Structure 1
Amino acid sequence: MYKVESLEQLMAAVPVIRAAVPADLSIAICDLEKFLAYWPGENINLHIQEGQLLHAEEPLTAAIRNNTPLRAEVPAEFYGFEFTGTATPIHDTEGRVIGGIAVQLRRQRELRIISDQIAASLAQASTRLMQVADGAGELAASTQELLALAQKSGEQVSETDKVVAIINNVASQTHLLGINAAIEAAHAGDKGRGFGVVAQEIRKLSNETVSRARTIQDTLGAFKTATSQMGVSIERIASIVQEQAATSEQISAFIEEIQQMSEKLNAFAQKL
């Protein structure tokens, strides 16, 4: 029960109360019939006029009539903004109800809207970032597979070099055989003339084989170099992708922390 000697005494104390409270308040004081004074806040003004009669449905009227303090959450539909209102009966020194005091505290709806928007934006950003991280992970796996294929191709080229070496060896032996056959044909004179033609063809085939083998070897060498360079590039790409995936996870964790802070901000705004 709140007792005062007079409502005028309470009205004199209101400016001190408003200055002492670190919140934007509006305060109204009434007697049993009408409002006696109203102090609007900077951001909350119900436009109550001095001498304005109390409405029968006014919370302050109910508080005085029932001699019971009331508290209500007033939605934005009525005044364009949300606020918490209290209505408290005032008693004189003998305990009789002589009036009431109504206090309105604007709720920080804008703050909650901003925190909700931040939370929604962060949720979308987190979802997109997780998609990027998943894509980076898949790309990293693909580059590893491609790198393995490039390495295998290099190994196969190395094996092919052995085959080319064997061909060169056979060609060399064939060429030597052709030379020996030509010498023997020369020793045989006219009887070895036909054999000499065959020996010449053998040497010709040997020379062509060596030439073809060198061409193949040069081609395989170029392919091996390109494969090696491709492997280096793939390794670099894989390293970058892995770094991006790790960075995405770090950013995602940071966004999650901000989301938690936004939720705390929202919870705090709900209490304002």
Structure 2
Amino acid sequence: MQKRDGDMMSILRKIKPNLNLVANVPENNLLERNVPEPVHPDVTEKPALRTPTVLEKLVDVADFFWELIGGQNLVLLVSTDKVLYARDGKLTRFNLSAGDEVKPAWITARAMKSGQRMVDYVPVEKSTFGFPYAAMAVPLRENGQIVGAFTVTSMLEKQVEIRGHAENLTLSSSQISGASQHISEMAMTLAGATSTLNSEMDNLTSNMGIVGTAIGLIQDVASQTHLLGLNAAIEAARAGEYGRGFSVVAQEIRQLAQTVNQNISQITSGLGMMSGGVENTVGKIAELNTVAQEQAAVTEEISATMQTLRENIAALEKMSKEAWI
């Protein structure tokens, strides 16, 4: 039995030459002990992996984001008190660096304080770059707490150009609206004048009717006068030598009646032509009045359309100021 235990110990020593045996343990009891396995010198325990924070993740992708938005704008990432990442745009130089202190006046600090997205518009007269720009800051949260903020800026040359065009359109539309309003007023004045003229032409037509009636009466008198002269001539012929002087008067009366009849015929013909002309004029005036009223209505529609255009231009100008990314 002792010989077999000795053989087993020899085998174990060959397999595990570095085995540290417990002191005072007899070799023949070694197989009956729970001896701990030795730690291999090349094996080390790996620490658990730490999850990156939101700020660390954003720092890793900040350069990519700067390129993504065209490289024209400042990209700024801060913690609650320090700059973690800052990269200027190609035409803007804010000269910020990692480690700089966050100033309370920055939109970044104000966004963190308010806990809301903020946008600042810097007009050209207040800009140090010679052109207007805008800045937007968004607070960053982790586990419900604000841990920093992300800020970008944008140049607004195109928006300013759009605003300039919008202002020119506004001015032009105002001028057109004023002109159309003036045309509308003139059209209404013309409509009123044609209405008055139409009324006057109606009065003229009525007066011409009265004149025609008077001419008819004169014509009747002339006919009776001619008949009277004829009768006087007959009586003068009967009187013989005594009626010769009266015969001359009767002849003059007949000639006067004939002249009156001729003049009345000419006047009647002229009145007829005038009456036709008046009727045509009245018709034209009525057409002109209709056109003037339609023109006034159209100019009113133009004015309303121009007002809508001005409102749309104002909305476009507002959008050009707000929509900067």
TM-score range with shorter-chain normalisation?
0.7 to 0.9
Alignment of 1:229-244 (within 5 A): 229-244=280-295
Contact 2:73 2:92 (8 Å CA) reproduced? no
Alignment of 1:190-209 (within 5 A): 190-209=241-260
For residue 181 of structure 1, the aligned residue among 232, 240, 245 is 232
Contact 1:34 1:51 (8 Å CA) reproduced? yes
Identify the range of structure 1 (111-120 vs 250-259) with the bigger mean alpha-carbon deviation.
111-120
In structure 1, the partner of 2:41 is none
Against the structure 1 CA distance between its residues 157 and 86, is the aligned structure 2 distance closer, same or farther, given a 3 Å change threshold?
closer
Q: Does 1:74 align with 2:125?
A: no
Structure number with greater Rg is 2
- What RMSD over aligned residues (CA atoms) do the two structures have, in Å? 4.0
Deviation at 1:175, TM superposition (A): 1.0
Q: Does 1:245 align with 2:291?
A: no
Q: Does 1:157 align with 2:228?
A: no
Deviation at 1:183, TM superposition (A): 1.6
Deviation at 1:229, TM superposition (A): 2.1
In structure 2, the partner of 1:221 is 272
Contact 1:68 1:88 (8 Å CA) reproduced? no
Against the structure 1 CA distance between its residues 186 and 243, is the aligned structure 2 distance closer, same or farther, given a 3 Å change threshold?
same
Structure 2 segments unaligned to the other structure (5+ residues): 1-51
Q: Does 1:262 align with 2:310?
A: no
Contact 1:118 1:262 (8 Å CA) reproduced? yes
Contact 2:162 2:320 (8 Å CA) reproduced? yes
Q: Deviation string for 1:188-207 (max 9, x for gaps)?
A: 22222222112111111111
Q: Does 1:271 align with 2:322?
A: yes
Against the structure 1 CA distance between its residues 116 and 4, is the aligned structure 2 distance closer, same or farther, given a 3 Å change threshold?
same
Once residues 299 and 248 of structure 2 are traced to their aligned partners in structure 1, the CA distance between those partners, rounded to angstroms, is 75
Once residues 72 and 195 of structure 1 are traced to their aligned partners in structure 2, the CA distance between those partners, rounded to angstroms, is 117
Letter in 2 for 1:246: A
Deviation at 1:119, TM superposition (A): 2.4
Contact 2:59 2:84 (8 Å CA) reproduced? no
Deviation at 1:161, TM superposition (A): 0.7
For residue 40 of structure 1, the aligned residue among 57, 75, 89 is 89
Q: Secondary structure at the match of 2:121?
A: strand
Q: Does 1:211 align with 2:259?
A: no
Deviation at 1:222, TM superposition (A): 2.7
Alignment of 1:93-108 (within 5 A): 102-107=151-156, 108=159
Q: Does 1:114 align with 2:165?
A: yes
Against the structure 1 CA distance between its residues 35 and 221, is the aligned structure 2 distance closer, same or farther, given a 3 Å change threshold?
same
Between Structure 1 and Structure 2, which shows a larger proportion of helix residues? 1
Contact 2:136 2:153 (8 Å CA) reproduced? yes
Q: Given the two structures, how large is their TM-score scaled by the length of structure 2?
A: 0.65
Letter in 2 for 1:111: I
Deviation at 1:245, TM superposition (A): 0.2
Once residues 176 and 130 of structure 2 are traced to their aligned partners in structure 1, the CA distance between those partners, rounded to angstroms, is 32
Once residues 90 and 179 of structure 1 are traced to their aligned partners in structure 2, the CA distance between those partners, rounded to angstroms, is 126
Against the structure 1 CA distance between its residues 143 and 88, is the aligned structure 2 distance closer, same or farther, given a 3 Å change threshold?
closer
Letter in 2 for 1:174: T
Alignment of 1:4-19 (within 5 A): 4=54, 6=56, 10-14=58-62, 16-17=64-65
